[in-house]
Structure 1
Amino acid sequence: MKGCRSVVRALCPLIALLYGLRADPSLQLLPAPENVTIYSYNLQQDLRWEPIKESDPLHPVTYTVQYELTSEKNSYHNLCLNIIETHCNISKFTEIKIYFKIVLRVRAEQGNLTSKWTLTPTFQATRNTTIGPVKSLSLSAYPEEHYSLYVRFQNPLLVENKWKMLYQLNYWKKITGVKTTVNITQTSERLKGLDPWTEYCVDVTVFADHKVGETSEAICAMPTASALSTGNLIALLLALGFLVIAASLCAYMMFRYRTIVKSLFHVPFQLPSHIQEYIQEHSPSQVEYSTSRSRLDLYDSVSIVDIELVQDPNESVPEDHSQSEIT
């Protein structure tokens, strides 16, 4: 019996310690937020993390975000308090300048339970931000500005900064793809000396301080050619009218004197002399004529002459009444 009491006395402190830990909620911890990351795009900062699984549906998990300057150690300032979202927009807090070096931390809270703080690496917006492409890029041609195109766009950074912005503008003929680069500091440019009725394409890349931005998508347009002035238009119409009249007159003369025109432009075909002689010698008509001629040559020519005298009955008839000659 005494042995059991001694065992109980030995276990009592341990039981009391375990009971105290369970009874004191401040000593219980929630899981710390994970994958805490600062997303910075065009100098707009947003802290994001993964949500914590809720153990008590009656008490939702909330989050608290704080920051400290690297130049002021152990001096944190509240940013987002008791939020249920898993992100905190840092850019809306004007006290944090874009050139400040800061460290952010976030923890989860649920009722009296809290998690450990999760810290981010040192962050400075001017060094760690990503610069996107220019905005509202447009390429247009105007009738009064011939053989040229106008490029217009907007700075992608909405936050004022002391950066010197440089824009690299590339343009090229769509059919060739050979790029020409122009570096400008303003947000508009006129491209001169282009070929009319040829499609050109343009893209723009931002250079801000030591950072290179993303290149914009290419857009294409076609410049217009120079319009005719009133005097040039009249001269062109007169020239066209003269050409129509001249063409009509030439057509009429060719129709009226078509025989002469045909004789002038028609060269009669003539066979060579040796071919003509061969055809004449071997033509059917010539052979038949030669054959009949040779047959006639076999007979003598005969001439018959008949003389008939009509006399009066009372007259004496001569002794010879007719004369025939046969040769």
Structure 2
Amino acid sequence: MTPSKHWILNNWIFLFILIHEEHCMLPAPQNVTIVSYNLEHKLTWTPGPGTPASAHFRVQKYSIKKKLWKLVLKCSDLRTGESCDLTNSFKDITCHYLARVQAFSSDQQSNWTSSELFFPLGHTTLQAPEVVLAGCGNCLLLQLSPPASRGLHPRQLKYLFREFRINVTRTRDKAQFVLRVSSGESRIDYLERGVEYCITVVPVTSLTNPVVPSGPHCAFTSPPPVSTVAVFLTALCILFLLVVLFCAALVHSGQLGCLHKVLLRALALNW
């Protein structure tokens, strides 16, 4: 065989292999995204067009520090519609990570599709803390505690949820003011008594994290104190009114004169 024929044959073989591999490969996953709230991370994706319903998916993670792709064992055999929990895989919140997904079947597999570079501490979305609100005279007592999260440790909680912006609104006329408080118990003073106020809470951070405000929490301040003198005078007036009504009823029924005679007779007998 001449060299030219040998070269042509090799090219045809190479082209056949490429076509065969392309035909046997599954479509690569699309829209690979890391969704993170309060340092709980989840990897989501959509199957590529034409992916059979029987296809499975596996996930690998990559740490910039270790420079090594590693299979996420609990995400090594997922089905369409499932996601991968990466909370425990991205333990170092100051490190940068990548994640990638591959579709596979018994005799086929797809190319890997990677997520964007992910920084847990800066990219996680901070949700509102747990809020307890109660009235106390002309003030409101506010208790703020970090939200429950598997991805948050005490040191991280203290750092991420150490300060909040409080928007206070008086329900009656929508008058508003804003203040900043720390985590724990706080008191909002100098409010009007017996009035409903609503608050929303937003975490404040020095990082660029997206934040989600809380829903409105509403409570009434305590009503004004009741004067004991006013209560006594009111009771006395009611008693006097009852006596007057009783006497009027006796006069109307004619029994008041009979009662007068009975009293005179009793006095005469005593003498």
What is the TM-score with the length of structure 2 in the denominator? Answer: 0.69
Aligned identity (percent) is 19
2:258 alignment partner in structure 1: none
- Are residues 1:169 and 2:166 paired? yes
Determine which structure has more spread, i.e. the larger CA radius of gyration: 1
* Residue pair 2:28, 2:47 contacting (<8 A) in 1 also: no
Change (3 A) 1:21 1:212: closer
The number of aligned residues is: 228
Kindly state the Cα deviation for residue 54 of structure 1 after the two structures are TM-superposed: 4.3
Secondary structure of the corresponding residue to residue 117 of structure 2: coil
1:76 alignment partner in structure 2: 69
1:124 alignment partner in structure 2: 119
2:189 alignment partner in structure 1: 192
1:219 alignment partner in structure 2: 217
State the AA in 2 paired with 1:175.
R
RMSD (Å), alpha carbons: 3.6
1:87-139 residue CA offsets vs partner (Å, 9 max, x unmatched): 2110143x63222201111111111211111112211111111112233x332
Distance in 1, matches of 2:25 and 2:41, equals 29
Query: Of 233, 239, 242, which aligns to 1:239?
Result: 233
* Residue pair 1:155, 1:187 contacting (<8 A) in 2 also: no
Kindly state the Cα deviation for residue 153 of structure 1 after the two structures are TM-superposed: 3.7
* Greater relative contact order (CA < 8 Å, ≥ 6 in sequence): 2
Secondary structure of the corresponding residue to residue 224 of structure 1: coil
What is the TM-score with the length of structure 1 in the denominator? Answer: 0.59
Kindly state the Cα deviation for residue 62 of structure 1 after the two structures are TM-superposed: 1.2
2:108 alignment partner in structure 1: 113
Distance in 2, matches of 1:190 and 1:30, equals 60
Distance in 1, matches of 2:9 and 2:100, equals 38
- Are residues 1:62 and 2:56 paired? yes
- Are residues 1:148 and 2:142 paired? no
Secondary structure of the corresponding residue to residue 36 of structure 1: strand
* Residue pair 1:154, 1:187 contacting (<8 A) in 2 also: yes
Query: Of 10, 17, 24, which aligns to 2:13?
Result: 17
* Residue pair 1:131, 1:156 contacting (<8 A) in 2 also: no
Kindly state the Cα deviation for residue 172 of structure 1 after the two structures are TM-superposed: 2.6
1:321 alignment partner in structure 2: none
2:247 alignment partner in structure 1: none
2:201 alignment partner in structure 1: 204
